[in-house]
Chain A
């Protein structure tokens, strides 16, 4: 299963734009039939070790964020504290259970990182076509 995802354009304050590779996703508690979040844009980010989401989305699906396992991650602006929870992540090709970090300080709704996202896809970033191609890896 392969999916072409066009890069999306976002404004800059000078009137220009920049591209980002993003994917609309939903999350839910890992229990079967748990209600999903609304779709939100998450950045495909190979620089992120973990999948990370805004804490407010986690609270909305029923997580008690501060009761998760506390961890610190190192970003370009320094260390950030977040709380780890198991969730279901709705991705092209099906749902995966992911241990993801939640933080109120994340400046974007979500980051799709190495653990929980990149391990499920072969990904080609194609700047000439301004898109990336995701090929789902299914374990035998």
Chain B
């Protein structure tokens, strides 16, 4: 049975790239996305999720080196 972390990993793998995404409070669903921070906040509020977790997806998933 997949762990909660593996469910989240597959969720991220399926997420649109180069976008902001909003995960549900329990991080099991993508509830909104947007090309900007403002847009994903608006879309998550429209989806009725008041406390989402926001993540910025990259153009290509790869380890980050800042």
Quick one: closest B residue to A75, CB to CB? Answer: B66
Q: In the complex, are the beta carbons of A48 and B66 less than 8 A apart?
A: yes
CB within 8 Å for A108 and B61 given contacts A10-B9, A56-B38, A57-B37: no
A38 to B39, CA, bound (A): 12
- How many chain B residues touch A (CB < 8 A): the figure is 26
A18 to B61, CA, bound (A): 10
- How many chain A residues touch B (CB < 8 A): the figure is 32
Q: Tell me whether chain B's interface is mostly helix, strand or loop, or mixed.
A: mixed
Point out the residues of chain A lying under 8 angstroms from B22, CB to CB. Answer: 38
Q: In the complex, are the beta carbons of B53 and A43 less than 8 A apart?
A: no
Q: In the complex, are the beta carbons of B54 and A41 less than 8 A apart?
A: yes
A54 to B58, CA, bound (A): 13
